[in-house]
Amino acid sequence: MKNMREAVIAGVGITKFDSYDGEKGRPLRQFYDLGSEAIQKALDDAGMEWNDIQAAFCGSVYCGTGSGHQTIQKIGLTGIPIVNVENACSSGISALRLAFQMVGAEIYDCVIAAGFEQMPRGPIQSTAWPVWQRQMGFNVQPADYAMRTVRYMEETGATEEDFARVTVKNRNNGSLNPNARMQKPVTIEEVLSSRMVAKPLRFLNACPLADGGTAVIVCSRDKLKSTDKVVTVAAATLCTAFYSSARIQGADHVQTSADQAFEMAGMGPEDMDVVQAYDTMSPGELWDLEKLGFCKKGEAPHLLREGYFDLSGKLPVNTDGGLMSRGHPLGATALAQVIEIYRQIRGEAGPRQVAGAKAGLAHAMGAGPNSGVVILKR
């Protein structure tokens, strides 16, 4: 990974994240409608034409065979290689990493990474558990998070009120993001009185589902149409699990993906002005910030209470509302994390702008497990 050519972001595109299922007056929009809208917006943002794009990596999870091809057919047919990337919730960031490497290695000068999803309706049938474990009732994702939450509470003293505070902070930020599915703030009391899903996690500790599309164009600096406020991809990493058990302590894949990203960027956590941490479940944001290196284990709840991670705090986290407000279209989520950092560094985040943001980190993780980190800088 040494001596790679600089890769910069030429433009980004994102749809409003919402439910596009065609029911109760809501519009029906397929994943390719959402993905192609985001791609066109990214081209417009970059001042580019589709003919400028030399390769495409498309992240999605539930969209079936050739979903990137179906999406790009709505834009243009130029014979370029299209590769579909399925890496669960890290699909989009995995696609971006491939685009970054292709430009860095000088294989192409201009590559698009896209992420899109129209989520299946009804409860998601996960095949991550064998049938006998499903018969024993293990196939409840919030229960997995709940057990990790119980451990976190045991080891750090964090409380259910702390987790409610994460939801409150992110929903406040989301109220300033017109692309978020949830734009109404909530109170600590509302979170703590929402229905229990898997003890100790409640309905408002969980991010809502959504459909949506995202796209990021990565290129070499000489291909930029405008050299105003250029944003460089300083690092893009991806890690999977290291063997670990109750008896054998293995490395943590989230921590490692962040360590590798900081090393690649030649920067440290103290250089980040804004962070998009991973908040599928609100307690997850706290241990995520610790594993990413922004504070020591058990410190995140205290810093949260002091307002450290607020929009006006020392290190604003999930300024666009995070998954908690945006909603979670699996294939699109990871690039939405990156797009917010890009907007902040460009000074284009409107009412949620962090003054003087010059560098930031976006994280996406999930089933696999995968953990992908992207660092952007001016």
Partner 1 sequence: MSGAEKTIPLREGLWTEKGHDGQPHLLGHRCLDCGEVFFPRKENGICTHCHSQNLELIELSRKGQVHAFSVVMLRPPGGYYRGDVPYALANVLLDEGVLVEGLVTDVNLDDIKVGMDMELKIDKLHEDDEGNTVMTYKFRPSAA
Q: How many CB atoms lie within 10 A of CB 194?
A: 17
Q: Is 132 in the site for partner 1 (CB under 8 A)?
A: yes
Q: Is 136 in the site for partner 1 (CB under 8 A)?
A: yes
Q: Is 245 in the site for partner 1 (CB under 8 A)?
A: yes
Out of 140, 188, 192, 267, point to the residue binding partner 1 (CB under 8 A). 140
Beta-carbon contacts of residue 339 (< 8 Å; ≥ 6 apart): 12, 14, 214, 216
Least CB distance from residue 129 to partner 1, whole Å?
9
Question: How far apart, in Å, are the Cα atoms of 76 and each of 50, 60, 68, 125, 205?
Answer: 7, 20, 12, 34, 41
Q: In terms of Cα–Cα distance, which of 129, 286, 134, 139 is closest to 205? A: 286
Q: Is 131 in the site for partner 1 (CB under 8 A)?
A: yes
Active-site option among 58, 207, 295, 328: 328
Total residues contacting partner 1 (rule CB under 8 A)?
35
Confirm if 138 and 147 have CB atoms less than 8 A apart. Answer: no
Q: Is 363 part of the annotated catalytic residue set? A: no
In degrees to the nearest 10, what's the CA dihedral of 1, 78, 82, 22? 130
Out of 51, 73, 78, 135, point to the residue binding partner 1 (CB under 8 A). 135
User: Both tokens of residue 8?
Assistant: 């910069």
Q: In terms of Cα–Cα distance, which of 200, 173, 204, 172 is closest to 191? A: 204
Q: Is 121 in the site for partner 1 (CB under 8 A)?
A: no
Contact letters (x/-) for partner 1, 81-120, by CB under 8 A?
Answer: ----------------------------------------
Q: Is 297 in the site for partner 1 (CB under 8 A)?
A: no
User: Both tokens of residue 217?
Assistant: 């164009």
Q: Is 8 in the site for partner 1 (CB under 8 A)?
A: no
Out of 3, 24, 77, 154, point to the residue binding partner 1 (CB under 8 A). 154
Q: In terms of Cα–Cα distance, which of 81, 136, 93 is closest to 330? A: 93
Out of 150, 230, 267, 367, point to the residue binding partner 1 (CB under 8 A). 150
Active-site option among 63, 89, 110, 207: 89
Distance, in Å, from the CA atom of 295 to the CA atom of 129, rounded to the nearest integer, reads: 34
Distance, in Å, from the CA atom of 82 to the CA atom of 98, rounded to the nearest integer, reads: 12
Least CB distance from residue 291 to partner 1, whole Å?
18
Contact letters (x/-) for partner 1, 197-226, by CB under 8 A?
Answer: xxxxx-------------------------
Per DSSP, the residues of 135-180 read HTT---HHHHHHHHHHHHHHHH---HHHHHHHHHHHHHHHTT-TT-
Least CB distance from residue 198 to partner 1, whole Å?
5
Q: Which is nearer to partner 1, 53 or 330 (CB)?
A: 330
Quick one: which segment of 24-32, 126-134, 229-237, 297-305 binds partner 1 (CB under 8 A)?
Answer: 126-134
- Which residues are the active-site residues? 89, 328
